[in-house]
Amino acid sequence: MESGAVYNQTTEPEAKAPRRWPRFGFTLRRLWGWRLPIKVIQTIFSLVAVVCEEIVDDCRSCGGLYLFEFISCSAFLLSLLILCVYCTDLYKSLGEDKVQKLNFLAVPVIGASFLLASIVFSATCSGSAVESVAYVFGFFAALAFAAEFGIELFLRRKQKHLDERPGKPGNTPSSTENQPLNKKR
């Protein structure tokens, strides 16, 4: 009692951590199960398509090649960007819902564009082996994007059906959970 310790506060206010920019820590925990392999496959197939179309030295009708070049390069960069966002602290900074919504909307657009570009390029190519490899990997990449969209759509519908199950008790005013504990009679 001599030091006055009895009258000191027993709790101290919690100090708030200073707001910092994201550290860009790397983690794979957000890409669980099938997500990591499909994202890596999309990125690799897009990269191979870009590299192969860059090797093409002569084209008969260059419009298809230029379209394929633009789409494949864009798809590679976007898939790499989405992969990096999922694997870094940007995922938390941007918000989980926003990243997942962006991915859900971007994947079918990228896949459909890649499919269209691959069809146009395969129809206008001169038949060289490098061109064939490029558009085949374009088709593979489009299939990878379509597979991710299909799986994601299936899982969202499954979750929606689980949320709407009739066996789930509703929140009714007469249920016992909503009654006061000390009910006066």
Predicted local distance difference test score (pLDDT) of residue 86: 87
117 pLDDT exceeds 90? Answer: yes
Predicted local distance difference test score (pLDDT) of residue 96: 87
Rounded to whole angstroms, what are the CA distances from 71 to 43, 53, 137?
Answer: 13, 11, 13
For 74-107, write each residue's pLDDT tens digit: 999 999 999 988 888 888 888 888 988 999 999 9
Nearest to 71 by CA among 109, 101, 44, 19: 109
7 pLDDT exceeds 70? Answer: no
45 pLDDT exceeds 90? Answer: yes
CA angle centred on 144, ends 143 and 145, rounded to 5°: 90
Predicted local distance difference test score (pLDDT) of residue 164: 77
Predicted local distance difference test score (pLDDT) of residue 133: 93
Residue bearing the bigger pLDDT, 171 or 117: 117
Rounded to whole angstroms, what are the CA distances from 131 to 49, 69, 126?
Answer: 9, 11, 8
User: pLDDT-derived band of residue 11, with 50, 70 and 90 as boundaries?
Assistant: low
% of the chain residues with pLDDT over 70: 77
139-156 core/surface letters (b: 16 or more CB in 10 A; e: else): bbbbbbbbbbbeebeeee
For 153-170, write each residue's pLDDT tens digit: 998 898 888 887 765 555
Predicted local distance difference test score (pLDDT) of residue 182: 74
CA distance 41 to 144: 7
Question: Mean pLDDT, to the nearest integer, of 132-147?
Answer: 95
Predicted local distance difference test score (pLDDT) of residue 60: 78
Compute the radius of gyration of the chain from its Cα atoms: 27
For 167-180, write each residue's pLDDT tens digit: 555 555 566 666 66
Rounded to whole angstroms, what are the CA distances from 114 to 98, 99, 124, 126, 142?
Answer: 24, 22, 15, 19, 5
Share in percent of the chain as helix, strand, coil (round to 5)? 65, 0, 35
User: pLDDT-derived band of residue 5, with 50, 70 and 90 as boundaries?
Assistant: low
